[in-house]
Amino acid sequence: MLHFVVNPNAKNINHILDAIKVRMQEEGIEYGIHAGASKEETRLITAQLTQSPATIVAVGGDGTLNDVLSGITMPETTVLGLIPVGTGNDFAATAGIPEGLPALELILSGEPKFTDYLECGGGLRSMNVAGLGIDVDTLERTYRMKRGSKKGKYLRGLIGALFSFRGQEIEVTENGETYTINAYIAAACNGRQFGGGLRICPPAELGDGKFDLVVVETPKFWKLPKLLIKLLRGKILEEPIARHVLCEEARIRQLAGKYVQLDGELVASETLNVKIVSGKLRMFRG
């Protein structure tokens, strides 16, 4: 049986659900559709469904996938699918999952693969990218906006952050080393991109048993345009101010700051504790 956990506010969701029902009936597969009206409800629904072996399909964007992942009770006996219908769909790009209904065919005909994810403390998880820095500043600005589409608000928030964000002091502990740095970006990457296509870590792999920690030192203001161009081209790791290491766990503590981001969602926390989980959860992906 397939359980579809749906973001009822996703784009074209009624069309997507109608098509899902048709395909399930054609294939003769039992299914259930569960709509989460909030993050908390989505996690609760998922937790209830995964108390025993289950196949759960998140229908939405990166935020919905994060809510479903964080709600899973027993990762070892859960198979996860994703039908990307969000605005960014960054994780899907790394995982080779097509957007919209073609993803359903991948689930119906494919074999699930072991897929890493991040434990971030307090029962929270991340499938794609967890971090802080300019991405958090952008999201804080976006959350304060009352008008516009989600994608439009994010773009305006990013432009505002680019003109005003000057980095933040953080303490990083990874691979037995602790250091303090004024960081522009600090990200634990399971996936390769965030922010609707910003390729923060092209080498990241979903099943290698490690995550990629990327810490970019704050550049001089006049060097910001070059840094942005590098980020847009997926070449930020070529910069000498970028530190890139593979980790199984790491700790990032903000010396000033209230939030971190997990897959594009703000979480109130001064510290980001990240640990890779490998060889437990299986997922339909390319």
Do 37 and 93 belong to one domain?
yes
CA–CA separation, 167 vs 71, rounded Å?
33
Do 134 and 46 belong to one domain?
no
- Residue 152's pLDDT band (cuts 50, 70, 90): confident
pLDDT surpasses 90 at 68: yes
**pLDDT value, residue 53:** 98
Do 270 and 208 belong to one domain?
yes
- The per-residue pLDDT for range 69-94, each reduced to its tens digit, is 999 999 999 999 999 998 779 999 99
DSSP string, the chain: -EEEEE-TTSTTHHHHHHHHHHHHHHHT--EEEEE-SSHHHHHHHHHHHTTSSEEEEEEESHHHHHHHHHH-S-GGGEEEEEEE-SS--HHHHHHTPPSSTHHHHHHHH---EE--EEE-STT-EESSEEEEEHHHHHHHHHHH--SS-HHHHHHHHHHHHHHH---EEEEEEETTEEEEEEEEEEEEESSS-BTTTB-S-TT--SSSS-EEEEEEEPPPGGGHHHHHHHHHTT-GGGSTTEEEEEESEEEEEESS-SEEEETTEEEE-SEEEEEEE-SS-EE---
**pLDDT value, residue 244:** 98
**pLDDT value, residue 160:** 83
92: domain CATH number?
3.40.50.10330
Mean pLDDT of 106-125: 96
- The per-residue pLDDT for range 207-264, each reduced to its tens digit, is 999 999 999 999 998 888 888 889 889 999 999 999 999 999 999 999 988 999 999 9
More confident residue, 157 or 199: 199
Do 36 and 160 belong to one domain?
no
Do 187 and 261 belong to one domain?
yes
Mean pLDDT of 52-68: 97
Residue 239 domain flag: yes
Task: Report CA-CA distances (Å) from 142 to 20, 137, 152, 160, 261.
Answer: 32, 9, 9, 10, 13
**pLDDT value, residue 131:** 96
The last residue of a domain, from among 83, 110, 137: 110
262: domain CATH number?
2.60.200.40
- Residue 67's pLDDT band (cuts 50, 70, 90): very high
Do 153 and 266 belong to one domain?
yes
Range of the domain at 58: 2-110
Mean pLDDT of 10-30: 94
**pLDDT value, residue 221:** 86
The last residue of a domain, from among 42, 75, 110: 110
Residue 188 domain flag: yes
Residue 115 domain flag: no
Residue 22 domain flag: yes
Do 270 and 134 belong to one domain?
yes
**pLDDT value, residue 7:** 93
Q: What is the mean pLDDT of the chain?
A: 94
How many structural domains are present in the chain?
Answer: 2
Do 224 and 196 belong to one domain?
yes
